[in-house]
């Protein structure tokens, strides 16, 4: 079965603390994974994709096929990182399956 699991609905940290938003997937094919973010009063938008191996706004995510994970990490959280984060798995040319999302709260 194709599935994306984000075990935490809410993650609260203080500014400057490290952040790790967990994402696990289940997929029999070669996975392509993404992180989307929704800031308050803004549209859901792409944050990063694993294939690009990029760091966006200080966030990185490494695909671990052995653990079927694609955790999103940032060494020092900022208040402006507070948002809803969705992990997504591409299962067809256009089709994405999203996790249930994790709300990140960064306190000053």
Return residues touching another protein (CB under 8 A). 6, 32, 34, 43-46, 49, 51, 86, 90, 92-101
- In angstroms, the CA 24 to CA 66 distance is 11
In whole angstroms, how close is the CB of 90 to another protein at the nearest point? 5
- In angstroms, the CA 55 to CA 78 distance is 15
Identity of the residue, 67 or 94, whose beta carbon is nearer to another protein in the bound complex: 94
Question: Exposure pattern of 43-72 as b/e (b: 16+ CB <10 Å)?
Answer: eeeebbbbeeeeeeeebbbebeeeeebbbb
In whole angstroms, how close is the CB of 99 to another protein at the nearest point? 6
Identity of the residue, 65 or 95, whose beta carbon is nearer to another protein in the bound complex: 95
Identity of the residue, 17 or 46, whose beta carbon is nearer to another protein in the bound complex: 46
């Amino acid at each position: 079965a194709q599935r994306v699991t984000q075990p935490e609905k809410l993650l609260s940290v203080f500014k400057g603390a490290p952040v790790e938003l967990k994402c696990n997937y289940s997929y029999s094919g070669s996975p392509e994974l993404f992180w989307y973010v929704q800031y308050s009063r803004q549209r859901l938008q792409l944050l990063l994709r694993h294939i690009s191996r990029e760091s966006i706004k200080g966030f990185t995510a490494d695909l671990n096929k052995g653990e079927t994970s694609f955790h999103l990490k940032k060494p020092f959280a900022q208040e402006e990182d507070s948002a809803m984060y969705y992990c997504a798995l591409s299962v067809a040319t256009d089709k994405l399956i999203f996790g249930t999302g994790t709300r990140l709260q960064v306190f000053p």
